Structure 1
C-alpha cells in the first residue's frame, strides 16, 4: 500500500468514526461531566467524578480520556494518578452555567437529530423528512414533529438560545439596523435573537411572533429583563395577521420550507412591510454552485431529515426575495455559522 493509499485510508476511517466523536460529546454533556468539573475547586480523579455522576468508574475513565484526546478536558498526572479539569473550550461552551453554553443544543442534536440521521438512506430515497419512522409523527406535520411534547419544545428552544448567545450579536450587526426602530422576529422562539437586537440597538423594540405553544413556553421558562422592549404575539405566520414593524426578521426559518412555502411567506411579509421597511434573513448560505461548505451541506441534509426544506445559495435567496417584491438585496458573510441577507420594500422603478 502506497503512502497516498495510507493517507486516504486514514481519512476514510476518520470520516467513518465521526459519529463516535459526536456521541462522546453528547454523552459527556448528558451525564454532566463538564458541569461537575466546572463546579469543582480543583481537578478531580476518575473515581471522584464517577461518584458525582453516579456512573461506573471504568466507563467514566474511558469517557474522560476520550474527552482529553478531543481537547475538551485536560489531565494532570501526579504519582501515577490522573486528575481531570475542563479545557477553556469546555468551560466556555460545554458547562451549562456559561453564558455561551451550547450544551442544550448538543443534547438536542444527541437525541432528536441523531435519531433522525439513522434514517438518512430512507430520506434520500423518499425525499422527505423521517419523523414518522423516528418518532411516529407524520412527515407533513412539521410543527407537531418539532414541538411534539413540552419537553421536546423546551429542549429545542433552549438549543436555539444557545446558538444565538454566540451568533446573535454577529448577525444583528452585519448591517446597521438602527434605522429600524420596530422589529418583528417571525418564528423568534424564546426571544434570544430579540435580546441580541435590543442589546445592540438601545432604541429598538422587538415583537416575537410565534405559535401559541412556543410563546407559552417562552413566557414560562425564559426570563426577560428587557421587559417593555421585547413583547410576544401569538400566531401562525403563514395564516395570521403579522404585527406592524419597520423590519421583519426570519432567522433559521426559510430553511425549514420548500420554495413554494417560502414564496408564500415572503409575499405575506412584503405585503405587511411598510415602504422603506426591510426584511432580514438569517441563514447559513451555500457557496455559489451549492457544493460547499461541508457544514452547510450537512445542514441541508439535516433539513431533508427533519423539515421540508433545504439550505440555499445567495442566488436562490435573491430569487425568492425578488419574486416577493423586495429589492436592494444584500448579503453579508459574517465569518460565523450564520450569514445575513437584507432586502427592502421600495419602488424599484423610482427615478
Structure 2
C-alpha cells in the first residue's frame, strides 16, 4: 500500500470502498454487529478520526455505534434515508484540524449513505421483530399460566368440593339400601338429606360451568344474552330504583365472533351495568353494540358520574384487562351533561359491517 493510501485511505477509489463495505456486511451475520462493522469500515477506508451512526427512535436520534475519538467540534452529520424516510444519521470527523473533506470525499460519503441507510433500516426491522417476538412469547407464557391456573382452580373445586360430596352421597345411598326395609323413618330422613346434597352438587356444577362460559351465550348468542341479562337485572333493580330503565341498542345480528370476544364483551356488560345499578343513582342506562372491524361496546348512564381522583376498583381493572388481553381498548370517562360512559373495542377477524339498529 502506498504512503497516500496509508495517510488518506481509499478516498480516490470509491468503488473499492463500496465493494469492501458490501463484502464485510455479507460476512456479518449478527445484526447487532452490522452498525459497528459499518463505522469501522468507513473510518478505516477514509482514515477518519471518528465515525458513528445514530438511529432514529421515535422522534429522537440515539447513538447506535461509533469508532474512534469523538471530535471536540461538532461532527459532520449526513442523513441516512431509506425510501424517503429518515432512519438515522452518519457522523464523521476528519483526521485532523487541517484535513478537510474534499468534494470527492463528500461524493463518496453520499454514495455510502445509500448503502448504510438500507442497512440501518434492516437493523431497525430486526429490532422491531425481536421486540414483537418477545411480546408474543410473553403473551404465550401469560396464556399458558392463565390456563394452568384455571385448571388448578377447577381441580381444587372438583377435588375438594364435588368429590367429597359425591362420596358422601354414595355412602348414604348404601345406608338407604340397608335401612329401607328395617327403618322407614330413618330411610326417609336420609332421602331428604340426599335430595338436599344433590341439589348442592348440581348448584356447584352449574357454577363451574357458568364461570367457564356463560350458558346464555350458547343458547341466545351475545346480543340475546345481553338483552336477557340487562332485562333481568333491570327488573330486579327497580325494587330500589323504580325510575331506572335499562335498554339495549344493537344490530339485528353479528358476524361469527371468537369465543373469547363473546365472553369478554358479555363480562364487560355485566360488570358495567352492575356498577350503574349499584353506584350511579341513574334513571337511564343504555348498552350499545356495533360490529365493524371491531366489536364496539358502550355502556352509558345519566347518573352521578365518576370521581376523577377515585382509584380504579377491581371491577374496572377487570374490564380493562379483558379488553387489553384481546388486543382491544377500554376507556371510561364522564359523560355530558352527566353520568359515565364506558367504551370497549375488541378486534374481530371479520371486518363486515353490521350496523342495523333495533
Q: Do the structures match in fold with TM over 0.5?
A: no
- TM-score bracket for the superposition, by shorter chain length: under 0.3
Max radius of gyration: which structure?
2
Question: Which has a greater percent of helix?
Answer: 2
